[in-house]
Structure formats: structure tokens, C-alpha cells
Amino acid sequence: MRALVTGGSGFLGSHLCDALLADGYNVIAVDNLLTGRAENVRHLANDARFELQQADIIKPFDFGKVDYVFHFASPASPVDYTEWGIETLQVGSLGTFNALDAAQRYGAKFFFASTSECYGDPLEHPQRETYWGNVNPIGPRSVYDEGKRFSEAAVMAYHRYRKLDTHIVRIFNTYGPRMQINDGRVVPNFMKQAICGQDLTIYGDGSQTRSFCYVGDEIEGIMRLARSSEHLPVNIGNPHEFTMLECAQVVLQVTGSKSKLRFEPLPQDDPKQRRPDITNARALLGWEPKVTLEEGLRLSLTYFKEAVQKQAAAQSALHAR
């Protein structure tokens, strides 16, 4: 069995490659390395069952026969997808068509990494898969949100009209080793700031909520959905909800840091609340997350410390030149 993972050297994509290899698949990761990093899959370089192809999937691609296509390519942090707005829209439209066509060409199964951003700034709480969302179609987040919503429509259309065997996961905030420390998301920002003794930047008054899932739990849910016969979107996320102020406290506790909090303006259209209803994941997949935020941050601490050190070393090398 051969699986192709678009975005295979990104944060989630690279963990998915590990899980697929462990499951017995040969894996081809396809990535243009815009926000993904070759470093995330460097540990697989000597595995004959793994290959990384640097290619942009907004152009049609064919890397030979595959049995499963996992479409995970996209800038995913608000900072990244606002910087790479056009690229985000392209990968969430042209890229999705090309990935679907690659699956159809070989009669392969198809799995799409969608997002809780489909719910926008949700008026229903917690969010069930049946909720249609509250998305600003022209705001700064729209390049990501509408790309993902369009992609869900495309996946369902290939399922309905072309009989593709498809799956859609709606991923809620996920964190862990291999996140880019500069992607601007709350967990890498807080961890980096706490480790360096800098103020933790709280946007707005910090009362907005997110529900954080450890990457190991998230990948386990994704693998279960990939093996299932469910075609409709399924939420995979941790239903334990935190305000950003609470999240900051957990980071300070885990890092033992004495950093203070600094309040900064809330970005436009920042969702006020997010929490998955995982009734479907429990019932259909027998899945629920096991790792608490505190445990997951402890499991990630060494990674973040090393990433901060590497960044500092790279900066001082730059200065020395």
C-alpha cells in the first residue's frame, strides 16, 4: 500500500507520515516547503519506504500509483495564511482538485484535512458537524476559511458524482513537537516567550477560548477516521476549553517561567470561542483525546527549548557574518 501526503513535511503532515509508515504504508510526501520544513521528515531520510518530493500541488501532479491520498497541504497559522493569502486560496482550490484527480486516477481513497475554521466565529457552542458556521467571506481569515470550505464542497462533489471514497476531518487547535516556533500561533508564541523570559502576549483581554489537542491524540483520531467508512466531516479535537489567560497560566506552570503578561490588540475576526463536540468521533471511531494540555506541553517542552536554542544560534551566526 502506498500513501501520498500533500503537505507531508508540515507539522501535522510529517506526524501523519510517521503514523502511516508505522501502519505499514510506503509514503510519498509532497511539499513545496513554503511553510513546511524538510527538517520535519529528516529522520525518515534513510527509510527506503519514504520519499519527499518538492513540488507545488497547485499544478497537476502524478507520482505513480497510490492507494491513498491525504491532502494536508496549506499554510495553517493565521500569521502564515495572511502572509501567503493567494497561495493559501490556490492550494485550497486548485490544489484540492489536483489532489482529488490524483486519487481518482488510481482509484485511491482520499482524506481531506479540514478545520474548525469552517465554523468561523461560531454562534453555536460547542460546535457540532451539522453547524454551517459564521464565516466572514472577505475578511483576513477568508483565504484559509473559504479555501477549506470550498475544498470540503469539492471533496463531497467527487464523492457524490465520481464515487470517490472520501473522508473529511475538521481539525481543532493542535500543538506539539515540530510546530514552527515563529508561526505566530498561541502555543509556540507563549512557549517561546516563557522559555526566553519575555512577556507573554495576550491578544485582546484573553477571555477568548480555544480547545487544544495534543498532536499524538489528533493523529490517532485521523488514522481511525482514515480506516473508517465515514464520508461526512468528523470533528477531531480536544473538548477541554481554555481562555487564553488560562492557557498562559498552564504555559507558565509547565515552563516554570516568571514571565509577565502583556496585552496587545485582538486581531480582526478572531473567533471568541471554539470547542468541538466529539460525539461523532466517540461513536463512529471509538476515539477521544487522552492527553491534557499540561501533559502535552510537558511532552513538547524539550522540542520548544531546542527550537529556541537553534533559532538563537542561527541569529548569532547571522550577526557574526
**Least separation in angstroms between CB 187 and ligand UDP:** 7
User: From the CB of residue 297, how many other CB atoms can be counted at a distance below 10 Å?
Assistant: 25
- Site mask, ligand UDP, residues 204-243, x = CB under 6 A? ----x-x---------------------------------
Near ligand UDP by CB under 6 A: residue from 139, 267, 298, 305: 267
Nearest to 119 by CA among 233, 243, 285, 288: 233
Angle, helix 186-196 to helix 244-255, in steps of 10 degrees: 40
DSSP structure class, residue 269: T
Near ligand UDP by CB under 6 A: residue from 7, 78, 221, 289: 78
What is the rounded CA–CA span in Å between residue 155 and residue 165?
10
Near ligand UDP by CB under 6 A: residue from 106, 270, 303, 311: 270
Dihedral over Cα of 22, 117, 40, 8: its sign: positive
244 binds ligand UDP (CB under 6 A): yes
Question: Residue 98 has which C-alpha cell?
Answer: 489536483
What is the rounded CA–CA span in Å between residue 94 and residue 135?
21
Q: Calculate the dihedral angle through the C-alpha atoms of 251, 254, 255, 258, rounding to the nearest 10 degrees.
A: 70
C-beta closer to ligand UDP: residue 201 or 311: 201
Near ligand UDP by CB under 6 A: residue from 185, 192, 224, 275: 185
Please state the length of the chain.
Answer: 321
Catalytic residue among 119, 144, 158, 175: 144
Assess contact for 76 and 11: CB atoms under 8 A: yes
Assess contact for 165 and 225: CB atoms under 8 A: no
| Residue 144 is among the residues annotated as catalytic for this protein | yes
**Cell 477560548, located at residue:** 209
- Site mask, ligand UDP, residues 115-154, x = CB under 6 A? ----------------------------------------
How many residues make contact with ligand UDP (CB under 6 A)? 16
Near ligand UDP by CB under 6 A: residue from 32, 96, 114, 189: 189
Contact segment (CB under 6 A) with ligand UDP among 98-106, 124-132, 157-165, 196-204 equals 196-204
C-beta closer to ligand UDP: residue 102 or 191: 191
Please report, as ranges, the residues that interact with ligand UDP according to CB under 6 A: 77-78, 173, 184-186, 189, 201-203, 208, 210, 244, 266-267, 270
Residues with a known catalytic role: 144
